[in-house]
């Protein structure tokens, strides 16, 4: 497997995608924020003093997906078609699970945009709840699925 972000001399470069065809592409990423049961209840009941935690985290994640190229040096600026962010409150495990989906018709994939959206949504949950719970843990940020492009489909097992 050749690393594509380096030239023949080992210098970093942005991959040239100008010769690639436009195709529909989609990436799904996920992650979790574990916290005290009391914090989960505060979020669920919308009693965090900073406001609607999941609503703000959703907007932050969407904004982050659109700004990924500003954060990750070799990412291409993309004209994203769609970003969705869903949260599952898992009271039994005392955590919030995050699932992001990013779509585009373009010449390069959107895995980094989906991962960035999940990460920033998790960070926003942490930021909005840290006064109530500094023991929160952000974990499991990962690519779950991708479709489209030359490399085809990927689906995480397990």
Q: Can you say which residues are annotated as belonging to the binding site for substrate?
A: 74-76, 112-113
**Given 90, 127, 133, 135, which residue is catalytic?**
127
What is the enclosing helix (H) or strand (E) of 69? helix 68-71
- Rounded Cα distance, 86 and 99, in Å: 5
Reply yes or no on whether 7 is catalytic.
no
Q: Write the DSSP assignment of 6-49 as a string of letters.
A: B-TTS-B-----TTSPPEEEEEEEEEEEE--HHHHHHHHTT--T
- Rounded Cα distance, 32 and 90, in Å: 10
Residue ranges of the annotated binding site are 74-76, 112-113
- Backbone torsion region of residue 111, taken as left when φ is above 0, otherwise alpha when ψ lies between -120 and 50, otherwise beta: alpha
Active-site positions? 127
């Amino acid at each position: 497997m050749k690393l594509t972000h380096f030239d023949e001399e080992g210098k970093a470069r942005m991959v040239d995608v100008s010769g690639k065809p436009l195709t529909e592409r989609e990436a799904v990423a996920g992650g979790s924020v574990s916290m005290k049961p009391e914090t989960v209840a505060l979020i669920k009941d919308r009693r965090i003093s900073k406001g609607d935690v999941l609503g703000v985290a959703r907007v932050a994640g969407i904004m982050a997906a659109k700004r990924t190229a500003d954060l990750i040096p070799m990412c291409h600026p993309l004209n994203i078609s769609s970003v969705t962010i869903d949260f599952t409150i898992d009271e039994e495990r005392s955590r919030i699970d995050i699932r992001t989906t990013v779509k585009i018709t373009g010449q390069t994939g959107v895995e980094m945009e989906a991962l960035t959206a999940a990460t920033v949504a998790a960070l926003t949950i942490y930021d909005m709840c840290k006064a109530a719970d500094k023991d929160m843990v952000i974990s499991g940020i990962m690519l779950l699925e991708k479709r489209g492009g030359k490399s085809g489909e990927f689906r995480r097992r397990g």
